[in-house]
Amino acid sequence: MADVVVFGYIIPVVVILAVVALLVGLSLAVSLYLTISLSVYRSVKQTRRDRVRPDLRNGLFDRLFAEDPDWEGWVEDMSSVEREVAESLLDEYLRELDGKEAVQLRGLGEALGIPERAGNRLSHRDVYTRLDALTWLTLLEHPDPVLDSSFEPSTPRERASTVTLLDSSDRLPDTATGVSMLLEGTDEQFTVFGQDTLYRVARTDPEPLLETASNEYDTWPEPLLAQVLSVCAHLETSVRGGELNWLTAALETQNEAIRAAAADALGSFGWRASLRDQVFLERATDDPSPLVRAAVYQMLAAWGDQEALSILLFALVEEQHPRALTLGTTALVGRRDRIDTDAGAVLGDAWAWSDEHAAYDRRARKSGSEPVGG
Amino acid sequence: MHSITHVVSTGLVLFSLFVIGYYAVVNSGYLVLHVLALLELRDDVRESRWDPPFRKFASPFYPGIGIVVPAYNEETTIVESVQSMLSLNYPEVEVIVVNDGSTDATLARLRESFDLEAVDADIPFDVPTEEIHDVYRSTTYEELLVVDKENGGKSDALNAGIWLTEMRLFCAVDSDTVIDRDALLSLVRPFLEAPTTAVASGGVIRVANACTIEDGVVKEVTLPKTGLPGLQVMEYLRAFYSGRLGLNRINGLILISGAFGLFQTDAVREIGGYRHDTITEDFDIVMRLHRHLKETDREYTVDFVPEPVAWTEVPSTRRVLGRQRRRWYRGMVENIVTHRRMLFNRRYGRVGTFVMPFFVAAETIGPLIEGLGYVLLPLAWYFGLLEIEFFVVFFLLTTGFGVFLSWFGVFSEVWSFNRYDSPWQVLRLLWYGVLENFGYRQWKTLVAWHGLFEYLKGVDTWGVMERTGFSTGDD
């Protein structure tokens, strides 16, 4: 075989090939060893866990409905594997149970020493370890380790977890604090958990969220703005105060997804006189994007008063985009009891289609989804 | 004679040098992809192991998903498939079954089982498909819609569903695919975290042969005992855990499996839906999305999520597998030719400058070069140009590296979701990683050449997938 010159040195090809072969062989040996070892380790661990799970589950249910569960006595005799399984069962059932059973079950968490361990893990450098700790404290409704420590949530997930913990254990001072913890200084979008947390915190008192959004919406990245708008779309409609100019401004941004989300959000605030401005509504119903126009039609249908519905009907008569027309008509069909005009006569096929589908929806809902014979 | 020998010898030497260089570049690329995949998997595993304390079903933020199920002569399985789709764990689902001109009792079975009634009203917009005879609604399942149309092929059936759903997202699935109950909750994650930019996400396809499936749920995961499906398990693991995860790390995913992918409905409608004149519509749709969104300067993401899983039966005979792989190869070549403008074009970002060129080099040209090598080897030996020692070392090196990449996929599986939880099964998987290099790999190069000839001849048939059916608990 030939030689190769590398940086002035003459190296036989066979040497190069031998080095590469050594590297490949070593990689193969290492990956084989790691894969098999890991597989055996996980299998053994799983087998041990599976072996004790049924008995532990029965024991847990027996104590769950007992007057004195004596969790400490039960836990005392457990091996480390049994403790691990007990923790996983606890995690599973705390997510499913409410009320008295959940309260009783939380005692097992205390007996297993979870709050203390979780408290210690709040200062761990790994973010997922901290998140697990916060999750346990939430499931156990045990906020003290967070309140008594200098823990400061530093990522959007941690902020959401902390707010959920404080909110679920009634230790969140007020909505404004929750909103501020979730949104202040943030430039990242939420996970669905974060978005859901914002919604749960703001739904009974939307004003702090509206105020924060009004002040900061133009600094937020578009995905975050879209998420906040989506939260606003699900808020209580009884909000009296709160600045809405940012919502109408969002309806005129470049991004059609933001405009559509703004229209969805505005569906919750139809009683506001400021939104009844004719010029504003004309601009909204004339939006160049059919996606946004469809959202505006749904907004008008959500408002549901005579004036809004008649604007909607007129807009639909003029609508050229078949899908926007169908979506708008579907929204109008939902308000058919509030309109005097024979919408079917002016909207034709779109009305007939939407109306018939709405009738099928009602029928299916009425009959309920029972198992079918196969 | 002397000069002919000289020309052939020179040609063979040049080809050998090219092959060595080619292998070095492609395998380096694969190594980079695998490392990227491992980093991506690490993040995904950490993310998926954290279960935040909230009730997903009570959350209003999961966008509605229309599950589009094209069905052609599926009378034996369609009812069970639809029931399985209807029972997926997701807050808002609409199942749109498109009966694509079946000649058997597919529609009758659906009508009978789900109390379907035809909608009298005309569809108020144009649906760019073959004629739609009727749209049916279930009087018991609000979320079920059945479309009965003239036969037009899978793309046409998918388009009918896409045009008729009002959901913001749609999930394209094959009617014989079994989706894990919670899979949609994970697959939708990119759309929740990037609501303004996510246009598509794909999950993992796994091999269902030998698995036990009851009531549309995979109850027991077992590695197929026969060689061919087992080798495909290895291939699927490598493709999903290495290729797609690695490409996802650089936002360069160019393929989402047609058996399980989630798309933004409007984005797909905007590009005219699935093309009828392609045999790999799933590959084409993702390429066209990339192309369209880049050309219109839109910010977007196409994501791969490794946790949600859909199960499918793979061919268990060489004849059917060969037919499937030839179709895949023809479709790949067809797509590369169709979208050749994107190659080395900076306008298309990483997809144009890195992903497509690498894909062409590794997946399209790779098997052809390898096949050619097998033909030229005896020639080189005949002309006395083959250094047996060099050839053996080179073969062992490339094979060894190939095995290493396959084992990397198995390690990723064990380290992450560990569906094959018995070490014996893992050992067998590792063995398949070795075995595929002796015979199977060489056979695939033959299939690639066959596929190329079929493409050049203009063959555009799908071929029939012959299924033996899933194992059930009663078997």
| Chain segment A34-50, per-residue pLDDT in tens | 999 999 999 999 999 99
Q: What is the pLDDT of residue A189?
A: 85
Interface of B with A in 152-211 (CB under 8 A): 166, 189, 192-197
Task: Report pLDDT digits (tens) over B410-446.
Answer: 999 999 888 888 999 999 999 999 999 989 999 999 9
Residue that wins the pLDDT comparison between B220 and A373? B220
DSSP string of A62-97?
HHHTSSS--HHHHHHT--HHHHHHHHHHHHHHHTT-
Average pLDDT value for residue range A14-40: 89
pLDDT for B386: 76
- Report which secondary-structure segment, H or E, holds B70: strand B65-71
Query: To 10 degrees, what angle do helices A127-139 and A114-121 make?
Result: 150
Residue A201 has pLDDT above 90, yes or no: yes
Q: Chain B neighbours among A 53-82 (CB < 8 Å)?
A: none
Chain B residue closest in CA terms to A157: B52
**Chain B neighbors of A357, CB-CB under 8 A:** 119, 137
Mean pLDDT value of segment A337-365? 88
pLDDT digits (tens, 9 = 90+) for B283-338: 999 999 999 999 999 889 999 998 878 998 899 899 999 999 999 999 999 999 99
Q: Which residues of chain B make contact with A192, given a CB cutoff of 8 A?
A: 56, 59, 61-62, 189, 192-193
Minimum mean pLDDT range among A89-93, A133-137, A292-296, B276-280: B276-280
Q: What are B118's strand-pairing partners?
A: B136
pLDDT in tens, A103-117: 999 999 999 999 999
pLDDT digits (tens, 9 = 90+) for B223-249: 988 789 999 999 998 888 878 899 998
B165-189 per-position pLDDT tens digit: 999 999 998 877 889 999 999 999 9
Question: What 3-state class would DSSP assign to B107?
Answer: helix
The pLDDT of residue A372 is: 41
Region of A213 please: left (phi>0), alpha (psi -120 to 50) or beta: alpha
- A-contacting residues of B 312-331, CB under 8 Å? none
DSSP-derived letter for residue B420 is S
Question: pLDDT tier at B91 (50, 70, 90 boundaries)?
Answer: very high
Q: What is the DSSP letter of B63?
A: P
**Where does the pLDDT of residue A371 fall: very low under 50, low under 70, confident under 90, or very high at 90 and above?**
very low
Burial B153-175 (b: 16+ CB within 10 A, else e): bbbbbbbbbbbbbebbbbbbbbb
User: Is the confidence at residue A369, as pLDDT, over 80?
Assistant: no
Minimal CA–CA distance to B206: which of B189, B218, B188, B190?
B218
Tell me how close the Cα of A14 comes to any Cα of chain B, in angstroms: 8
Distinct helix (H) and strand (E) counts, chain A: 19, 2
Cβ neighbours of A199 in B, within 8 Å = 59-61
What is the distance between the alpha carbons of residues A131 and B357, in angstroms, rounded to a whole number?
41
CA-wise closest residue to A40 among B427, B433, B407, B419: B427
CA closest to B45 among chain A residues: A128
Query: Considering only alpha carbons, which residue of chain B is nearest residue A12?
Result: B390
For residue B460, what are its two tokens? 């555009």
CB nearest to B407's CB, from A28, A168, A234: A28
Decide: A295 and A264 in contact? Cβ < 8 Å: yes
A43 part of contact set with chain B, CB < 8 Å: yes
- Which residues in chain B have their CB less than 8 angstroms from residue A258's CB? 196
Nearest CA in chain B to A140: B53
To the nearest whole number, what is the mean pLDDT of chain A? 89
Among the ranges B16-20, B305-309, B366-370, which has the highest mean pLDDT value?
B366-370
Instruction: For residues B474 and B469, give the distance between their C-alpha atoms in angstroms, rounded to a whole number.
Output: 13
Tokens of A185: 């200084």
At residue A374, the pLDDT reads: 34
Residue B56 has pLDDT above 90, yes or no: no
Q: Can you give the pLDDT at residue B466?
A: 54
Question: Chain A interface, mutation test: which of B50, B93, B191, most A Cβ atoms within 10 Å?
Answer: B50
Q: Is the dihedral of CA B66, B70, B76, B77 positive or negative?
A: negative
- In this predicted structure, what is the pLDDT of residue A373? 37
In this complex, the residue of A39, A164, A223 whose CB is nearest that of residue B426 is: A39
- Taking only the tens place, the pLDDT of each residue in B261-278 is 999 999 999 999 999 888
Q: Which of A35, A193, A370 sits opposite B430 (nearest CB)?
A: A35
Q: How far apart are CA B298 and CA B61, in angstroms?
A: 24
Nearest chain B CA: its distance from A140 CA (Å)? 11
Q: Do A349 and B52 touch (CB under 8 A)?
A: no
A367 CB neighbour count, 10 Å cutoff: 14
In degrees and rounded to multiples of 5, residue A153 shows phi and psi of -65, 135
Tokens describing residue B329:
């190869």
Least confidently predicted of A18-22, B201-205, B342-346, B406-410 = A18-22
Candidate from A204-218, A238-252, B66-80, B250-264 with smallest mean pLDDT: A238-252
Out of A267-281, A360-374, B295-309, give the one with best mean pLDDT.
B295-309
Confidence of residue A280 (pLDDT cuts 50, 70, 90): confident
| Residue B395 or residue B290, greater confidence | B290
Tokens 């600045």, residue? Answer: A243
Q: Which two tokens stand for residue A149?
A: 């420590």
CA A329 centroid distance within chain: 30
Residue of chain A with shortest Cα separation from B94: A361
What are the Cα distances from residue A273, in Å, to A79, A270, A305, A307, B239?
A: 67, 8, 13, 12, 58
Q: Do A139 and B421 touch (CB under 8 A)?
A: no
> Which one of B196, B237, B299, B393 would you mutate to disrupt binding with A, by most A Cβ within 10 Å of its Cβ?
B196
B residues 405-464 closer than 8 Å to A (CB): 407-408, 410-411, 414-415, 418, 421-423, 426-427, 430
Give the pLDDT band of residue B462 (cuts 50, 70, 90).
low
Angle, alpha carbons B207-B438-B360 (nearest 5°): 70
Q: Is the pLDDT at A20 greater than 50, yes or no? A: yes
CA nearest B174: which of B257, B271, B86? Answer: B257
Q: Is B52 on the interface with A (CB under 8 A)?
A: yes
The residue type found at B215 is D
A84-88, A247-251, B61-65, B136-140: range with lowest mean pLDDT: A247-251
The answer to whether residue A15 neighbours chain B at the CB level (below 8 Å) is no
Q: Taking CB atoms and an 8 Å limit, are A199 and B51 in contact across chains?
A: no
Q: Where are the alpha helices (DSSP H) in B385-422?
A: 388-415
Looking at the predicted structure, is the pLDDT value of residue A134 above 70?
yes
Alpha-carbon distance values, B351 to B101, B292, B293, B348, B362 (Å): 37, 13, 12, 6, 15
Secondary structure letter of residue A372 according to DSSP: P
Q: Where are the alpha helices (DSSP H) in B179-280?
A: 183-187, 189-193, 227-238, 245-249, 265-270
Chain B contact present for A124, CB below 8 A: no
Helix (H, G, I), strand (E, B) or coil at A253: coil
Name the pLDDT band for B130 (thresholds 50, 70, 90).
Answer: very high
Chain B CB contacts of A221 below 8 Å: none
CA gyration radius, chain B: 23
